[in-house]
Structure 1
Amino acid sequence: MNRLFEKIGILLVCLMGLIYSAQNITLIIAALIAVTVSSLAQVWAGRKAAWVLIACCAALCGIMPEMLNMMPLLMYDALWEKKPILLLPAAAFMIHPLNISRICFAVVGFAVAIIMFSRVSKLEKKVDTLQQMRDDAAENNLALRDRNEAITLAQDSEIHIATLKERNRIAREIHDNVGHMLTRSLLQAGALIVINKDEDMKEPLESLKNTLDTAMTSIRSSVHDLYDDSIDLEKSIKDSISTVDERFEVKLDMDTDSDMPGRIKLCILGVIKESLSNAVKHSNGDKIFISVQEHPAFYRLLIQDNGSCTKISQTGIGLENMQERARSAGGVINFTPSPEGFRIFMTIPKKNNAD
């Protein structure tokens, strides 16, 4: 828009010089040609067609001297095209004996065009700079927002880990302190019942023993729940994966409930760690897929790589460890070697692991 207003101002200066220097039909023709070429030059900015039009108009000064008065308008376009050399034909005709007033108006027009071009170009550079600053600020704001989100997630993760560690500590202290004291109290109550000869004390001692036994059962259940909650299975699996991510591209697919029993979590985590260790030692593949799924009646673990393996060693310590872990949780584990990859499939029924 600024360029359009500048062109209108230059055009008015050109028309003043043209009216003063010429009083015939060529005045209108020269003005129409110049306006048309200037408009096309702006539409075709940066194209060779615009350069050719400006050069042809400059050459017209030889046969139509009135065009010289319109050259400032085309000078403005040539400056925007960074091709002021296109007006050399017009400059060549200016050195010939012509109407002095026409030359003076042309020089004034050139000066006005150069000044306006300089002003508008500086203004547009400032606008571009401001636009760039605004874009940079928006980009920095987005980066800052992403960084803040990452920090928030990291803080939430740290809080979650700290909470799990605190639960584990509380469970351990309850087990080591309160649990042992209750066990000792139960033994003492049982001993008192055995050595008691007073029939009036028999029923109170039995009630005391039952109360202590109920408290012990409640403590065991609470400790068991705290310990189960203190194990973050997904994070533990990801930590194990991070130890081999330089060697393998590992994809993890998890779909489990948060109240999975702790012994099942430890079993699954132990099998995954053992399988990753075996993959590092024996697999010639570069990808591993791990899937942990919860079904209505059982938990399922699938681990598969893309290495070529046609047989397995039945005496391998790693495989024996995985089998022992599966048996300890009441589950079944199978190993399937093939040219397409080594596959580990384990299922653990829920009914054998109910709290």
Structure 2
Amino acid sequence: MGRDLHTAALTASLSLLAGLFGYVARQQSDTEADVLSRMDRERSQRIRAETERRAKIAEAERDVRLATLAERNRIARDLHDTIGHVLSSALLQTTALLAEQDENSRTGAIRDIQATLNLGMDRARQSVHGLYEESLSFEYELKEVMDRFTFCTVSSQVDFRQEPPHDYRQTMLKAVREALANVVRHSNATAVQIMAVEHPGFYQLRVKDNGTRILTEAEEASRSGVHLGLGTMSERAGRHNGTLRIERKGGFGIILTLPKRTDDKQSEKGDT
């Protein structure tokens, strides 16, 4: 009888252990399945993200190619319109010169050809100069200014939806140069921050240093170099109906604000 009980208990224990092992095995199997499923999802997400990234890169490269071709066509048209008419006129004048018998008339015709070619050369120079100016972005020119500044560290942030007009860019760049020159001459700053931001109705430039040696308005007025520099910046801003504001808290800074012109706003609407 005792032996039967012992056997039954042993059998029950073995059954219980078998059940436990089965449960653990099922749990382990379920866990492995969950891990594999999660790994599959993560792999799919990575593949999808990489595909989207490559698609965006391809789209950006295509946009660059199209923009480059459009710019080449524009340059070709500009050069054709600028030089083609002048050369055609010079050829006609040369043909007429060959048929001219009178020496005085020949001299006058040669002078006309010379004037026509000089006009064409001037127009070609203007076109190339204009194309060069348009090809340089504000951010590129700002970097050149910053690279030449070695007095202290300087950082920048440029956020333009579209490039400002050339005269606006030059006004802002001149303000940056003057502000950095003032840092060298009058500040004990160790860092300068430049921010150029486009707003819906205006462009704004801010140049701020962290110096503690800040001139008061009276001190600025007594130092002709500072007063003249700030006055020049203010005068340039006024030419565009803009303003120049001075900051003296937490360092010295300037804020140059240039309102958008009507044609700039219309161009922005056309891009949306």
TM bracket, shorter-chain basis: 0.5 to 0.7
1:85-139 Cα shifts (integer Å, max 9, x gaps): xxxxxxxxxxxxxx32222111111111222222221222121111111112212
Change in 2 beyond 3 A, CA 1:266/1:302: closer
1:85-100 alignment runs, 5 A limit: 99-100=2-3
Identify the residue that residue 102 of structure 1 maps to in structure 2.
5
Deviation at 1:177, TM superposition (A): 3.6
Residue 263 (structure 1) shift: 2.5
Q: 1:292 aligns with which of 198, 218, 221?
A: 198
The answer to whether the Cα contact below 8 Å between 1:307 and 1:339 also exists between their aligned partners in 2 is no
* Partner residue of 1:147 out of 26, 50, 65: 50
Counterpart for residue 336 of structure 1: 246
Q: What is the letter of the counterpart of residue 190 of structure 2? A: N
Q: Which residue of 2 aligns with 1:173?
A: 76
Change (3 A) 1:266 1:181: farther
Q: How many residues align?
A: 214
Structure 2: distance between partners of 1:279 and 1:103: 100
Q: Is the 8 A contact 2:191 2:209 kept in 1?
A: yes
Which residue does 1:136 correspond to in 2? 39
Q: SS at 2:199's partner residue?
A: strand
Query: In 2, are the aligned partners of 1:292 and 1:301 still within 8 Å (CA)?
Result: yes
Say whether the 8 Å CA contact 2:207–2:255 is kept in structure 1: yes
Alignment of 1:27-46 (within 5 A): none
Q: Cα–Cα, structure 1 residues 143 and 159, in superposed 2: closer, same or farther, change >3 Å?
A: same
The aligned counterpart of 1:81 is none
Relative to structure 1, is the Cα distance of residues 147 and 276 closer, same or farther in structure 2, using a 3 angstrom cutoff?
farther
Distance in structure 2 (CA, Å) of the matches to 1:190 and 1:141: 72
Distance 1:186 1:339, change over 3 A: farther
Residue 124 of structure 1 aligns to a residue whose secondary structure is helix
Q: Is 2:194–2:205's contact at 8 Å kept on the other side of the alignment? A: no
> How big is each residue's C-alpha offset from its partner over 1:18-72, in whole Å with a ceiling of 9 and x where there is no partner?
xxx8xxxxxxxxxxxxxxxxxxxxxxxxxxxxxxxxxxxxxxxxxxxxxxxxxxx
Q: 2:211 aligns with which of 301, 308, 311?
A: 308
Distance in 1 (alpha carbons) for counterparts of 2:60 and 2:176: 22
Letter in 1 for 2:196: I
Moved more, 128-137 or 114-123: 114-123
Matched ranges for 1:104-253 at <5 A: 104-185=7-88, 236=139
Name the aligned partner's letter for residue 255 of structure 2: I
CA RMSD of aligned residues (A): 5.3
CA positional deviation for 1:345 = 0.8
Query: What TM-score does the superposition give when structure 1 sets the normalisation length?
Result: 0.43
Higher relative contact order (CA 8 A, sep 6+): 2
Q: Secondary structure at the match of 2:257?
A: strand
Contact kept? 1:233, 1:265, Cα under 8 Å? no
Unaligned runs of 5+ in 2: 96-126, 148-152, 268-272
Give ranges in structure 1 of 5+ residues lacking alignment. 1-20, 22-98, 193-222
Aligned partner of residue 340 in structure 1, secondary structure: coil
| Identity, % of aligned positions | 7
The letter of the residue matching 1:148 is T
Q: CA deviation at 1:156?
A: 2.6
Structure 1 CA distance for aligned equivalents of residues 39 and 178 of structure 2 = 48
d(CA) in 2 for partners of 1:269 and 1:141? 48
User: Normalising to structure 2: TM-score of the pair?
Assistant: 0.53
